Structure 1
Amino acid sequence: MESYRKTGIIVGLLFIIATVTAIITIVFLGSTLEMPLDFNLISENEFQLVISVLFWIILAVSVMGIGAMMYPILKKYHEGLAAGYVVLRLTESILIIIASISILSLLSLSQEYLAGTLDVSYYQSLASMLLALQNWSFEIGTLIFLGLGGLFLYYPLYELRFVPRWLSGWGIIGAICVLLYGLLSLFGVADSMIVTLLAAPIAIQEMVFAVWLIFKGFNTEEIKLNS
């Protein structure tokens, strides 16, 4: 059972790293990549954008790590569901990396624009496409796949009682809220108030879940019963 204790600590730390890096990225990006694009501002904020990309890569690795570490735990409920969770987290990570590459491409494009090597209209069209790719990749990755991944994670934990049911039940509700947020974003009807209301449950729950895993761990008695 000692291995499950270590798994709990590692997963808890990865959840914290993922949350912190996501917040730092949002702070560093600020309003640099908002429409209408300010090409001079993008070039001037090169350092912030590169730092954001680095933190996004850390986020992607953390998300993949969570999927890999949780596989042996979730497999006790259903091997196919456990594999599905890993695939969802891997897909989320890939989309985050695509968003990161889009930012770097946009930065390179802005530097070429300032050097006067590209036609203005061509640059603006390409920049808008890259920004759209970044937005959709990150939104789909962090909303749709995060929400689905949450359901694949917390439902087995709820059924098996590997963590308290109030905590896993909270996670299920949070995952549903994120999925709803993602669907609203796809149709362009999510305003700032809706975003806050739908994102808050899972954001808070993941931190509580992480702290619980670090200090309490999984319910080893229930794990024994399901071994």
Structure 2
Amino acid sequence: MDTTRRTAVVTGVLFLVTEVAAIAGLALYGPVLDGAAYVLGPGADARVRAGALCEMVLLVAVIGTGVALYPVIRRRHEALAVGYVCGRLLEAAVIAVGIVSVLAVVTLRQDLLGESGRAAASALVAVHDWTFLLGPNVALGANTLILAYVMRRTGLVPAWIALLGLAGGALVCASAVAVLFGLYAQVSVPGTLAALPVFAWEVTLAVRLLTRGFQVTQKYPD
């Protein structure tokens, strides 16, 4: 297996890991997102910690996609290659803040009860909610636009896959603006529908890279 094919396989696996880890983390976090109620209730600390672990796997996979794709993109557009890596690092940093805020709620439930604990838990959940908007929506959307543009311009994947990424990135960014101004909640039917094209883009890209690798063109040889 040559280097470019190996890179495609690694990248495809990492994109699939991001999807699985993100969905699992959100599902496991469910109880803690009640904030004040969680602090005063029986809790589900093991479940929340498992969710945090999934988010940490997500964090590593997000960075991994940027690092893995860097040498491939750099040969075609160095500035965008650097931009994509930096964007993925920023996305991972925002996710890390969300992980810390959720784990802090678990600590509050164990060590601090009463009204002060309720208020602190609500504040920490609010921090998580904002990182969830800025990371998996704004940063993800911007990174998707960068990568899809590079794929479209260089022909590394079929045009329809790149166009799916461009549409998905733009839609999730627009949805983030709508959530920011209170038009609907992020975890809602409209928010989910807006995120589906990005999900489809990442899964389609992953499958393409795993099964066929990068599409090499004469204009942009390896």
Using structure 2 for the length normalisation, give the TM-score: 0.93
**How many residues are treated as equivalent by the alignment?**
220
Cα distance in 2 for residues equivalent to 1:150 and 1:212: 16
How far residue 182 of structure 1 moved from its aligned partner, in angstroms, is 1.3
Answer yes or no: is 1:49 the counterpart of 2:48: yes
- Superposed CA deviations along residues 101-154 of structure 1, whole A, max 9, x for unmatched, are 11111100111134xxxxx33222221211111111122011000000001101
Q: Which amino acid aligns with 1:37?
A: A
- Counterpart contact for 2:31–2:43, Cα < 8 Å: no
State the partner residue of 1:4. Answer: 4
**CA deviations over 1:50-73 (Å, ceiling 9, x no partner):** 000001000000000000111112
Q: Is 1:166 paired with 2:165?
A: no
Could you tell me which residue of structure 2 aligns to residue 65 of structure 1? 64
What residue identity is the alignment partner of 2:191?
Answer: V
Q: How far apart, CA to CA, are the structure 2 residues paired with 1:193 and 1:54? A: 27
Alpha-carbon separation, structure 2, partners of 1:112 and 1:36: 14
2:101–2:128 CA contact under 8 A, matched in 1: yes
Q: CA deviation digits over 1:1-53, x for unaligned, max 9?
A: 92110011000000001100111112212243136533244x52000100000
- Quick one: which amino acid aligns to residue 32 of structure 1? V
Deviates more, 1:5-14 or 1:70-79: 70-79
State the shift of 1:77 in Å: 3.0
Q: Secondary structure at the match of 1:188?
A: coil
SS in 2 for 1:219: coil
> 1:76 Cα shift?
2.7
8 Å Cα contact 1:50-1:104 kept in structure 2: yes
Runs (5+) with no aligned partner, structure 1: 115-119
Instruction: Specify whether residues 35 and 110 from structure 1 end up closer, same or farther in structure 2 by C-alpha distance, changes over 3 A only.
Output: closer
Alignment of 1:136 with 2:121, yes or no, is no
Q: Distance in 1 between matches of 2:112 and 2:182?
A: 30
Identity of aligned residues (%): 31
**Are positions 1:203 and 2:199 aligned together?**
yes
Counterpart-to-counterpart distance in 2, 1:147 and 1:130: 24
Contact 1:174 1:202 in 2 (8 A): yes
Which 10-residue stretch deviates more, 179-188 or 163-172? Answer: 179-188
Q: Aligned residue for 2:28? A: 28
CA contact (8 A) 1:163 1:218 kept: yes
Find the residue that maps to 2:174 and give its secondary structure: helix
Specify the alignment match of 1:18 in structure 2.
Answer: 18
In structure 1, C-alpha distance between the alignment counterparts of 2:200 and 2:168, rounded to whole Å: 9
Check the 8 A contact 1:181/1:190 in 2, yes or no: no
Q: Is the 8 Å Cα contact of residues 4 and 220 (structure 1) preserved in structure 2?
A: no
Kindly provide the amino acid, as one letter, of the partner of residue 44 in structure 2: N
**1:84 maps to amino acid:** G
State the 1:226 CA deviation. 4.0
Counterpart CA distance in 2 for 1:107 and 1:35 is 10
